[in-house]
Chain A
Amino acid sequence: MNGQTMYDRLFGADAHTLVADGLFLHGTARIGTQEVAVIGTLDHAAIDVSIALRIAEAVLHVVRDDAADGKPPRPIVFMADTQGQALSRHEELLGLNGYFAHIVRCVDLARRQGHRLLTVISGEAVSGGFLAYGLMADRICALPKSQVRVMDLRAMSRVTKISLERLEELAKQSPVFAPGAENYWRMGGIHELWSEDDDWSACLAAALGKVASSDDRAAIGLERGGRLLAAPTAQLVANP
């Protein structure tokens, strides 16, 4: 599915003005009668300093414009499609981690200003690129065929010196290390998995209605049986 078809299915063909500028995506759309801002990346973008600055700036401009217009804060939909952070000496020298932290602060400002934050994973969601903004939303949904991971099993096998066969076997029982949106769903890291048969714009509207600004992912992971220790361990330390 190309981007345009996907955006049409999500927002309705006549209800969005999304512009792809290189690997950066932005614009406005309607979900039902609600206007939303859309910010994201496409084509499995490797997030570098320049894309990070554009994401952060777009978030700040939504916050600024709504405050200036005296409008109720619009929801922000993050379209996440990233292969992870850009890997280069130059990016590291500049402090790419600091640029990602800046995005996170901007997203947090939007949350505190009352913007509802929703992520739609539309391709890949990998590691640092996913942490930078997709994982910071209040509600995270994945389109079918989304690839969500830190590292593929082959690379993990090389690093951990555990055989690929063993990892593949264990991955059938445990959601904890193997790639897959389903695994993240079980662990509470993704709230909703949408299927090919779903009406995505109806899903989007419903998801927007369920956005809550508290971070309940550990409790959800416990409830779904995919992350049994996070919530009780945090509780042991927080309030023994």
Chain B
Amino acid sequence: MNQRQHPRHEEPRPADAPPGGSPAGNLDTLRQQAAALRAAADAAIAHALSANSQDFNAAMRQEGGQ
């Protein structure tokens, strides 16, 4: 069987999506995404830095690798 005949999931893909909705709609979406990202980032940064960074960085030491 050729791989192109395989049943595939059919979720919309970036290239299938229309090139853009209304400019205002896009802007609103981008603003919402940015606000969500800022909130998530702030919480995650605060959580990470609640530990001692120097201790963490020292403990990160690995022994070799490929």
* A and B are partners in one complex rather than unrelated chains: no
Chain B: residues with CB nearer than 8 A to chain A? Answer: none
